[in-house]
Amino acid sequence: MRWLDLVTITLTATFAAAAVPIEGQLVRSELLPEFEISPSTRVVLNGGAQTSFVDADGGFYFDNVDDGVHLIEVLSREYYFPKVRVAITGNNMAASMHVDGTNWNSVGPEVKIPLQLSPKVVIDPFMPRPKMTLMSLVMANPMLLMMGGTFALFFFLPKMMEGLDPEELKKMQENRANQPKLEMPDVSESLANWFAPTAPAAAAAAASPAKKK
């Protein structure tokens, strides 16, 4: 019995030493001195393996955390908190900042124990409504842009022609007069020729009944 009791006490002491608590607090920072804790703010361990709600003073607590490397995240709708990597070996605990995309085994800037996490950025889920101006309406409408370009050509082209040399203007007029005129095809005539039978086909169609008689 004594041997069994000794083994039980040894195992209990071993498991008690292997599982340690992690505690910390959400505190204000110089960037956000008016930080206020929302009732919906939570702190999660390893993606939700354990969840701790934050009390009025910003404190959080995780009990019986095993040896290994763990990730602590603060879930807040109003503020962004940095993620913390906590490495536990027996009764020794070391914490450091963790950045997404970096190697999990790499150690970032050290974080003091017990943890004190401060928000870095305010999260604004609503985008500001863009201001409506006359220029934004014109630039967003291609039809208005085309109309504006056409009116600009009608207005500036005569001014440009007046500034030309008379000889150059005369040459341009002569070149325009010598250019062949492009005639648009008659659409109705083309459709009629397309659907109407040709002359040989019409003659053959007229002669076939006479042969049968």
pLDDT tens figures, 99-132: 888 888 888 899 999 999 999 888 876 767 777 7
Among 112, 116, 10, 8, which residue's Cα sits nearest to residue 59? 116
- The reply to whether 21 and 96 lie within a common domain is yes
List the domain range (segments joined by +) for residue 54: 2-122
14, 104: one domain? yes
Mean of the per-residue pLDDT values for the chain? 77
Q: Which residues pair with 50 in a beta bridge?
A: 45
The pTM is what?
0.52
> Do 111 and 92 share a structural domain?
yes
Residue 201 lies in a domain: no
209 inside domain = no
For residue 192, being part of any structural domain is answered with no
> Within this chain, do residues 49 and 100 fall inside the same structural domain, yes or no?
yes
Q: Are residues 134 and 109 in the same domain?
A: no
Residues 41-68 have a mean pLDDT of 92
Residues 117 and 42 in one domain: yes
Quick one: pLDDT at residue 83? 94
Q: How far apart are CA 201 and CA 15, in angstroms?
A: 104
What CATH number does the domain containing 36 carry? 2.60.40
As a whole-number percent, the residues of the chain with pLDDT over 70 amount to 69
Assigned domain for 118 exists: yes
Q: 98 and 147 share a domain?
A: no
Please indicate, yes or no, if residue 149 is contained in any of the structural domains.
yes
Is 187 among the domain residues?
A: no
Instruction: Tell whether 30 and 72 lie within a shared domain.
Output: yes
The answer to whether 60 and 43 have CB atoms below 8 angstroms apart is yes
Q: Which residue has better confidence, 197 or 86?
A: 86
The verdict on 107 and 168 lying in the same domain is no
For residues 49 and 151, membership in a common domain is answered with no
Residues 102 and 77 in one domain: yes
- Tokens found for residue 56: 């009025």
Structural domain count of the chain: 2
**pLDDT value for 195:** 63
Q: Where are the beta strands (DSSP E) in 66-211?
A: 68-75, 79-80, 83-89, 92-98, 110-111, 115-117, 121-122
The per-residue pLDDT for range 169-200, each reduced to its tens digit, is 777 777 777 766 656 566 566 666 666 655 55
Reply yes or no on whether the pLDDT at 48 is more than 70. Answer: yes
